A and B are shown apart, each in its own frame.
Chain A
Amino acid sequence: MAMIFMEILSYRFFQFALAAAMLTSILCGLIGTYIVSRRMVFISGGITHTSFGGIGIGYFLGIPPMIGAAVFSVLSALGIEYFSRKGDIRNDSMIAIFWALGMALGILFIFLTPGYAPNLMSYLFGNILTISKAELLALAILTVITLAAFILFYRPILYIAFDEEFARTRLLPVQLIKYLIISIIALTIVFSIRVAGIILIISLLTIPQTAANLLTRRFDRIAVYAILLGLVGNIGGLILSYYLNIPSGAAIILCLVVIFVVVRLLKR
């Protein structure tokens, strides 16, 4: 067993996949803790599906789809944050509009692109084994920036998330920090598409955190536990998908759900 594992570790594509699994555990573990704590799961779902529009536009314009998705998602996320602040449209209704528009634009632009039709399944459901060096590098840089931001600005981030209005009375730059974090959320989602796919990403951002939240009610501890549980689920899912020859995204989500159920049962 150990021998076989050492053998697959020598494959470059598997090294990349393993690194991506570890990086997304850290990144999604942390960002997901913020999302779950602030009850932003639906917004995150909206941003995720909006990114598909960026992928379509990327194909149509002949630029790397992930760059199209990154730009489009960040702009949509800032748009959602901006309009939800104005408050003349109900927040959840507006997210649904972004959600559907993103998917519609994605399929439309891919349809309009002449010639080769990309494999949509890998964007929708992920395929961690196909991650490129550039994508891995982008993921690594984003993980480092996000970790640094949360460590350096832990208290202002936590306080704004808990009570925005009080944070304003302390003259904290509330709006700036909210825009920065929603942008990081959008980038986290885009760079995790390879691992879990548009439809499954939400699980990386919610399942480990919900399990962690069963064990503790402190933000910092939820983040650490979610990262650890995410590591087990992501790496477990990756190995499972390799040996059973099943889709990686689905295998990872199944592992995460099993972990959640185990934590829930142990907690009783």
Chain B
Amino acid sequence: MDRLVELDRITAGYGGQAVLKEVSLIIREPDFIGVIGPNGGGKTTLLRVIIGLLAPFSGSVRYHATGEERYNFIGYLPQLMQFDPRFPITAMDVVLSGIMTGNRLMRRVTAKERKQALQLLEQMGVAHLHDKAIGELSGGERQRLFLCRSIISGPRLLILDEPDTFVDNRFEHDLYDILRDLNERMAVIMVSHDLGTISGNVKTIACVNRNLHYHPSNIITEQQLAAYDCPIQLITHGNVPHTVLKKHEPWQ
């Protein structure tokens, strides 16, 4: 159980306002963690601290990576819809941006890397789009592309922020197969609003609502969610029976 990242009593947020308070988490080699919690509870903030995009107010982040290893340590799939769709860049170049590192800014792209990028696009079923501009792709196609970008460097830890938004059902199904497969080689940590799908696929659950409660199983009961102070907005409305959430049994 190699440790990858250790968060120790992290308090973090924006503009002096703490979103996360005293949060600790250890991410290990074979982990597949699903991050759930209410909107504004700090899920994305947690990911940003883990990646190093946001410096915490207090607490420490420790990466178990030495020297050069650090550059290809983390693969990141951000939440969609935050880029300019008219930006002049091809699908191929988007994927190749995943191998650029801060220590080799003048590196050229090798033929081997191009081939590797094409193979990844092939796996995701979007190889035919490699020469298209990013704006010509649909939401689902872009998400596949960004997934290629996040894994081409062969990271030790893959971080995904709501990868299942704006995608078609077919890709959502494929996505979890792909992620399970990737999890053989790398740790995965994923934010999702869809508790039903997430819990069937992840190994453990982190409930984030200002605090973090680590739940070392992929099955979680309403009672436990309540105890973790982690109210989840279910996608289904009304009294629809839920397959994953174990109902609190009357005799318990």
* B interface, over-half SS: loop
Chain B 95-111: CB-based contact to A (< 8 A → 1; otherwise 0): 01110111101110100
* A interface, over-half SS: helix
A158 touches B102 (CB 8 A): no
Q: Could you list 30 examples of A-B contacts with CB < 8 Å?
A: A37-B88, A38-B87, A39-B84, A152-B106, A155-B100, A155-B105, A155-B107, A155-B109, A158-B89, A162-B83, A162-B97, A163-B83, A166-B76, A166-B149, A168-B53, A169-B51, A169-B52, A169-B76, A170-B71, A170-B97, A170-B98, A170-B100, A171-B70, A171-B101, A172-B100, A172-B102, A172-B105, A213-B88, A218-B89, A219-B89
Other-chain residue from A171, A213, A216 in contact with B71 (beta carbon distance below 8 A): A171
- Sort A-B residue pairs by CB-CB distance and give the 8 closest, nearest first: A171-B102, A217-B133, A159-B97, A169-B76, A219-B88, A172-B102, A156-B105, A217-B88
B84 touches A170 (CB 8 A): no
CB distance from A31 to the nearest CB of B (A): 15
**Which chain B positions have C-beta within 8 A of A182?**
none
Q: How far is the CA of A159 from the CA of B53 in the complex (A)?
A: 16
Chain A 202-246: CB-based contact to B (< 8 A → 1; otherwise 0): 000000000001001111001000000000000000000000000
Chain B 67-86: CB-based contact to A (< 8 A → 1; otherwise 0): 00011001010100011100
CB contacts under 8 Å to B, within A90-105, are: none
Chain B residues with a Cβ under 8 A of chain A: 51-53, 70-71, 74, 76, 78, 82-84, 87-90, 93-94, 96-98, 100-103, 105-107, 109, 133-136, 149
B83 touches A159 (CB 8 A): no
**Which chain A positions have C-beta within 8 A of B87?**
37-38, 161-162
CB distance from A28 to the nearest CB of B (A): 17
Chain A 9-43: CB-based contact to B (< 8 A → 1; otherwise 0): 00000000000000000000000000001110000
Chain A residues with a Cβ under 8 A of chain B: 37-39, 152-153, 155-156, 158-159, 161-163, 165-173, 213, 216-219, 222
Contacts A168-B53, A170-B71, A171-B70; A162 near B102 (Cβ below 8 A): no
Most chain A Cβ neighbours within 10 Å, of B87, B94, B134: B87
Q: How far is the CA of A168 from the CA of B149 in the complex (A)?
A: 14
CB distance from B169 to the nearest CB of A (A): 27
CB distance from A210 to the nearest CB of B (A): 12
**Which chain B positions have C-beta within 8 A of A216?**
88
B88 touches A222 (CB 8 A): yes
Contacts A156-B100, A162-B83; A169 near B74 (Cβ below 8 A): yes
A171 touches B97 (CB 8 A): no
**Which chain B positions have C-beta within 8 A of A162?**
83, 87, 89, 94, 97, 134
**Which chain B positions have C-beta within 8 A of A163?**
78, 83, 97
**Which chain B positions have C-beta within 8 A of A165?**
53, 78, 82
**Which chain B positions have C-beta within 8 A of A173?**
102, 105
